[in-house]
């Protein structure tokens, strides 16, 4: 029977044929893709010609392309539109893909060819070619090529186990997120909640054939409740439910998975000759070792903590007026919102009518147009995986540049959070320029009845953040896909995304698109002033929170977790210095810390703060020259387009004229005295 994944797609721009594909097509296609990829590898190994850059390194770069496209789509679907079938298949195929990866890096004859090229031809290559050669050589040496046969067997076993454990971890978090609901039947329990929040909760109950109101652990449902609900006991219930995700001592508990993942990563690092997983990871980062990361985070901690303590003290004073003697973590969002209203006289909820999703999307597109000359045209002939997805063709000076898929709303089959990914990378192959297919996935409030999707200001910045990642992919202009777009050092990858958030706080730009969805009235100038003034509101506390995640990640991956430690105790001890609220027994964030256990941020969570130094410094340069200055934008476009073909600090210095300074971040965050 014909499998649409194993033949030419015959779609516009060779886009993924979602609507022609049944989920049952994935397994045979992946198995066939693996067989074809192994054949590609065998042809390189068996080539009688002496190894050269083209017949070995470039050939290896091109090997398994079809498998790559199929698996990218599969794992993207497993994040954005999953079900039991796809989750079970992910568990089944992840070890097979891990084994295939090992079959490449542990193939002695293949490594000998790569090594021969590395030792003989590196002087005659362009900068990009050398980066590819260097990365290819390291992908072998850093993944076991120099190990003994017995050690290679152990590495294969570890990688297979890790691939399964990471899938299970993600599935448990998704299950636990979907399993809990707060069902309210007494309208008094909704006191303090805006009408729009109540309407959305009522709609959710109706969908489930229930009376009353339903709140879930999905961010657009949970966060407004935590901010506005006067009922403290219900805030506590929702907070505790969120803080116990995958931590219930049941079949969906992630405590053992954490221990196994951390233990296997440590063993793997030692096998490869590294002190810890963090030492292994950071060798290929701008921050080159755990000591540098620890120093960076603790320096920021020393600067931010006094500000954070003052901020929480202000919240305590507000809570005392409500008769609360001890402020708890489930009070934080509620009193932050009260303080925001008292300090700046605006509430995020009151501003939502001015941030209709469609207008915010247009504003993000407008920035890309004014900076880089890009335009976005909605296409109705591109297949998509869900009816809610929109697809845009990105054009530069009227020429095709990329496809952009956008998927904005929460669903049961979608994991929480927001992310950018791709269905096809950019590259130049055999004289053909292959342009990328990029995707943004978020979880914003749905439209209901006559009301469009309205964003909180925080969600506006989230959209701009993910769009920044998307631009990194869209602007890609390299020869090799593995060096293209976001394939850069992990602590550099957040620069383009965090850079874009700065535009949300520019008064002139904000006033150009913040308009009431019903009346078209612009957001009053004094309200915009308040948003701009509140840019670093609670920044001390937010910095402390990010630092606690970064230091916890570093602790897990520098061999500090002992086998008999409880995850709750371990986490508590690491974050104690940053903990400004009493602990609630039986809660922990590690069991749902998807960024570092199944995700790619292991030993890299510090990257968010590291990249903030870069983005604040970069935007300071734009402010000096004009935030839409095309000459400055042209330099930044070069930085975006070069991907991983140039060492990131060199790329940054070429753009800025010097190395980044932390001063711009401290000034922007209000953390400089």
Tell me the catalytic residues: 466
Q: Which residues of 624-651 are buried (b: 16+ CB within 10 A; e: fewer)?
A: eeebbbeebbebbbebbbbbbbbebeeb
369 part of a folded domain: yes
| The domain boundary residue, chosen from 218, 243, 268 | 243
In this predicted model, what pLDDT tens digit does every residue of 139-152 receive, in sequence order? 999 999 999 999 99
- In this prediction, residues 574-589 reach a mean pLDDT of 96
Query: Model confidence at 54, in pLDDT bands (50, 70, 90)?
Result: very high
Model confidence at 98: pLDDT above 90: yes
Whole-number pLDDT of residue 349: 86
191 and 62 both lie in a single domain: no
Same domain? For 508 and 648 the reply is yes
454 part of a folded domain:
yes
Residue 363 counted as domain residue: yes
Q: Are residues 516 and 464 in the same domain?
A: yes
Residue 124 belongs to a domain: yes
Residue 122 has pLDDT above 70, yes or no: no
Coil/strand/helix, residue 99 = helix
Query: Does residue 127 sit in the same domain as residue 27?
Result: yes
Domain of 94 in residue numbering reads as 4-105+107-142
Q: What is the pLDDT of residues 356-394, one digit of tens each?
A: 999 999 999 999 999 999 999 999 999 999 999 999 999
Q: Domain holding 655: CATH number?
A: 1.10.1370.40
Element (H, E) at 78: helix 65-80
Q: Mean pLDDT, to the nearest integer, of 485-497? A: 95
Residues in Cβ contact with 439 at an 8 Å cutoff, skipping those fewer than 6 apart: 76, 80, 404, 405, 406, 407, 420, 421, 422, 423, 470
Work out the average pLDDT over 63-86.
97
Residue 655 pLDDT class (50, 70, 90 cuts): very high
pLDDT at 533: 86
| Residues 138 and 188 placed together within one structural domain of the fold | no
**Same structural domain, 90 and 187:** no
The pLDDT tens digits for 496-518 are: 999 999 999 999 999 999 999 99
- Side-chain half-sphere of 298: how many Cα atoms within 13 Å? 9
One domain, residues 16 and 98: yes
Out of 451-460, 527-536, 646-655, pick the least confident. 527-536
- For position 11, which CATH number holds? 1.20.1050.40
- Specify the pLDDT at position 345: 85
Q: Find, among 301, 328, 298, 297, the residue nearest to 312 by Cα.
A: 328
Both tokens of 210, joined, read: 């229930």
* pLDDT for the residue 514: 97
Report how many domains make up the chain. Answer: 3
Q: Mean pLDDT over all residues of the chain?
A: 95
pLDDT at 150: 97
pLDDT of 672 reads 78
Clarify whether residues 131 and 221 are in a common domain: no
pLDDT computed for residue 235 by the predictor = 98
pLDDT band at 551 (very low <50, low <70, confident <90, very high): very high
Instruction: Tell whether 86 and 200 lie within a shared domain.
Output: no
Give the integer Cα–Cα distance in Å for 497 and 5. Answer: 32
21 domain-assigned: yes
pLDDT value, residue 361: 98
600 in any annotated domain: no
Regarding whether 220 and 132 lie in a shared domain, the answer is no
Confidence label for 23 from pLDDT (cuts 50, 70 and 90): very high
Same domain, 376 and 525: yes
Distance CA 276, CA 278 (A): 5
Indicate whether 418 and 527 sit together in one domain: yes
Q: What pLDDT is stored for residue 124 in this prediction? A: 82
- Beta strand residue intervals within 177-242, DSSP E: 181-184, 213-216
| 419 bridge partner residues | 441
């Amino acid at each position: 029977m014909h499998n649409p994944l194993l033949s030419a797609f015959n779609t516009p721009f060779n886009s993924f044929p979602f609507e022609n594909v049944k989920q049952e097509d994935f397994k045979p296609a992946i198995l066939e893709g693996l067989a074809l990829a192994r054949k590609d590898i065998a042809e390189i190994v068996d080539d009688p010609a002496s190894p050269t850059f083209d017949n070995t390194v470039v050939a290896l770069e091109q090997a398994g392309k079809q498998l790559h496209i199929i698996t990218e789509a599969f794992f993207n679907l497993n994040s954005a539109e999953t079900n039991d079938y796809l989750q079970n298949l992910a568990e089944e195929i992840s070890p097979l893909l891990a084994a295939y990866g090992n079959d490449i890096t542990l193939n002695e004859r293949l490594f000998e060819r790569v090594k021969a090229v590395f030792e003989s031809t590196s002087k005659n290559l362009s900068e990009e070619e050398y980066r590819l050669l260097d990365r290819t050589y390291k992908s072998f040496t850093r993944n076991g090529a120099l190990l003994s046969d017995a050690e290679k067997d152990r590495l294969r076993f570890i990688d297979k186990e890790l691939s399964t454990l990471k899938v299970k971890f993600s599935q448990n978090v998704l299950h636990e997120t979907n399993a809990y609901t707060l069902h309210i039947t007494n309208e008094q329990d909704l006191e303090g909640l805006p009408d729009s929040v109540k309407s959305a909760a009522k709609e959710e109950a109706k969908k489930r054939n229930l009376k009353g109101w339903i709140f879930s652990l999905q961010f657009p449902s949970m966060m407004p409740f935590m901010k506005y609900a006067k009922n403290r006991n219900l805030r506590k219930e929702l907070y505790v439910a969120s803080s116990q995700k995958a931590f219930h001592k049941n079949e969906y508990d992630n405590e053992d998975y954490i221990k196994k993942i951390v233990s296997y990563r440590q063993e793997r690092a030692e096998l490869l000759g590294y002190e810890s997983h963090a030492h292994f990871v950071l060798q290929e980062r701008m921050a080159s070792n755990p000591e540098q990361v620890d120093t960076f985070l603790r320096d920021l901690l020393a600067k931010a903590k006094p500000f954070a303590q003052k901020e929480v003290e202000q919240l305590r004073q507000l809570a005392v007026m409500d008769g609360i003697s001890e402020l708890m973590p489930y009070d934080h969002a509620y009193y932050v919102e009260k303080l925001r209203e008292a300090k700046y006289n605006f509430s995020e909820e009151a501003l939502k009518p001015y941030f209709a999703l469609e207008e915010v999307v247009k504003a993000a597109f407008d920035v890309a147009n004014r900076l880089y000359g890009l335009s976005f045209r909605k296409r109705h002939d591109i297949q998509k995986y869900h009816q809610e997805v929109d697809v845009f063709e990105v054009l530069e000076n009227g020429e095709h540049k990329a496809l952009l898929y956008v998927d904005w709303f929460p669903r049961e089959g979608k994991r929480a959070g927001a992310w950018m990914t791709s269905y096809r990378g950019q590259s130049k192959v055999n004289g053909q320029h292959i342009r990328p297919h990029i995707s943004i996935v978020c979880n914003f409030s749905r439209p209901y009845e006559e009301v469009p999707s309205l964003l909180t200001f925080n969600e506006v910045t989230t959209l701009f953040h993910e769009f920044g990642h998307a631009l990194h992919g869209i602007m890609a202009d390299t020869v090799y896909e593995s060096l293209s777009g976001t394939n850069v050092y992990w602590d550099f990858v957040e620069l383009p995304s965090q850079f874009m958030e700065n535009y949300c706080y520019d008064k002139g730009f904000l006033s150009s698109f913040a308009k009431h969805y019903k009346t078209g009235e612009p957001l009053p100038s004094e309200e915009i002033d308040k948003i701009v003034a509140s840019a670093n509101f609670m920044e001390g506390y937010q910095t402390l929170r990010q630092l606690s995640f970064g230091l916890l990640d570093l602790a897990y991956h520098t061999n500090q977790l002992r086998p008999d430690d409880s995850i709750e105790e371990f986490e508590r001890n690491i974050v104690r210095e940053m903990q400004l609220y009493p602990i609630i027994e039986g809660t922990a964030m590690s069991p749902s810390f998807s960024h570092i256990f199944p995700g790619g941020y292991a030993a890299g969570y510090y990257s968010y703060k590291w990249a903030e130094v870069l983005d604040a410094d970069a935007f300071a340069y734009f402010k000096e020259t004009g935030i839409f200055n095309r000459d400055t934008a042209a330099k930044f476009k070069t930085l975006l387009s070069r991907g991983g073909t140039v060492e990131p600090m060199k790329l940054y210095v070429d753009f800025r004229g010097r190395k980044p300074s932390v001063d711009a971040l401290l000034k922007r965050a209000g953390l400089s005295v």
